[in-house]
């Protein structure tokens, strides 16, 4: 069974601070995706990374895929209250996704 | 209209009742999935279907069944609901061979079994 461990489980910060959340596995994935989920809604895809060492930027969010394709990180610069939500990583293999349990981020004004 | 529509959004049912959750999509995707989400346990795969004639069990299929009525429709049934099936249920779709493009999720059905 492929497992994805996300850390930290909970994170509460002030607006304007920077943060990094992590997604780690002992398994190699063909791709790794990050989703954000807001209360009462389904997860929404933020980014997909497929190449070891790949870095993608989405405005203030920077995503990195580990060289060995087993881990990933999400860095948010100058967090805003609108960044509040549950951040999920998901590893792709055999056309199915395995999800981590998520990091619940709260950005306080 | 949403790309992936789930009905109902909320449902309270009694133990032992049969209940069906429905999912329809306008994405034109072949692949559809049912997940349940529980606090502290994340999203877990119940069933998935890669085309109309294909049904596969996920990691937690016991107590559930599915029907793929058409490319656009995938329903989940609880034959005899029990309280530990209380959860948030999500339907998702993905494009054939395009796993790297990610899943599109519905808004979920919050099911409570009393």
**Which of A81-85, A104-108, B39-43, B93-97 is the least confident region?**
B93-97
Residues 6+ away with beta carbon under 8 Å from B50: A95, B30, B31, B56, B96
Q: Looking at residue B14, what is its pLDDT?
A: 97
Judged by a CB distance cut-off of 8 A, whether residue A99 touches chain B is yes
Whole-angstrom distance, CA of residue B32 vs CA of residue B49: 5
* Beta-carbon separation of B105 and A31 below 8 A: no
**Which of A13-17, A29-33, A87-91 is the least confident region?**
A29-33
Judged by a CB distance cut-off of 8 A, whether residue B101 touches chain A is yes
Chain A neighbors of B40, CB-CB under 8 A: 101
Neighbour count for residue B29 (Cβ, 10 Å): 20
Model confidence at A1: pLDDT above 80: no
Judged by a CB distance cut-off of 8 A, whether residue A40 touches chain B is yes
- Please check whether residue B66 is in contact with residue B34, taking contact to mean a CB–CB distance below 8 angstroms: yes
Beta strands B73-78 and B64-70 are antiparallel
**Which residue, among A19, A72, A76, A35, has the nearest Cα to B43 in the 3D structure?**
A35
Share of chain A above pLDDT 70, in %: 98
Q: Using CB atoms, which residue from B4, B31, B100 is nearest to A92?
A: B100
Share of chain A above pLDDT 90, in %: 74
Tell me the two tokens of residue A48: 């997909």
Judged by a CB distance cut-off of 8 A, whether residue B46 touches chain A is no
A14 Cα to chain B: minimum distance (Å) = 24
Judged by a CB distance cut-off of 8 A, whether residue B106 touches chain A is yes
Mean pLDDT of chain B: 93
- Please check whether residue A10 is in contact with residue A104, taking contact to mean a CB–CB distance below 8 angstroms: yes
Q: Using CB atoms, which residue from B42, B106, B108 is nearest to A99?
A: B42
> Which residue positions in chain B have pLDDT lower than 70?
1, 96-101
Neighbour count for residue A89 (Cβ, 10 Å): 30
* Beta-carbon separation of A50 and B100 below 8 A: yes
Whole-angstrom distance, CA of residue B19 vs CA of residue B86: 12
């Amino acid at each position: 069974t492929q497992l994805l461990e996300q850390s930290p489980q909970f994170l509460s910060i002030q607006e304007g601070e920077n943060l990094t959340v992590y997604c780690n596995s002992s398994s190699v994935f063909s791709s790794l995706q990050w989703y954000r989920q807001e209360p009462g809604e389904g997860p929404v895809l933020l980014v997909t990374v497929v190449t070891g060492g790949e870095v993608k930027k989405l405005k203030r969010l920077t995503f990195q895929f580990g060289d060995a394709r087993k881990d990933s990180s999400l860095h948010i610069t100058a967090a805003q209250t609108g960044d509040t939500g549950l951040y999920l990583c998901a590893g792709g293999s055999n056309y199915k996704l395995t999800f981590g349990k998520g990091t619940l981020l709260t950005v306080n004004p | 209209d949403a790309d992936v529509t789930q009905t109902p959004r909320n449902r309270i049912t009694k133990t032992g009742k049969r209940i069906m959750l429905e999912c329809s999509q306008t994405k034109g995707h072949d692949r559809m999935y049912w997940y349940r989400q529980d606090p502290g346990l994340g999203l877990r795969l119940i069933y998935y279907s890669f085309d109309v004639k294909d049904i596969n069990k996920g990691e937690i299929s016991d107590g559930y069944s599915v029907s793929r009525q058409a490319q656009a429709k995938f329903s989940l049934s609880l034959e005899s609901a029990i309280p530990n099936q209380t959860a948030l249920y999500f339907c998702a779709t993905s494009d054939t061979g395009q796993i790297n493009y990610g899943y599109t999720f519905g808004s979920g059905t919050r099911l409570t079994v009393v």
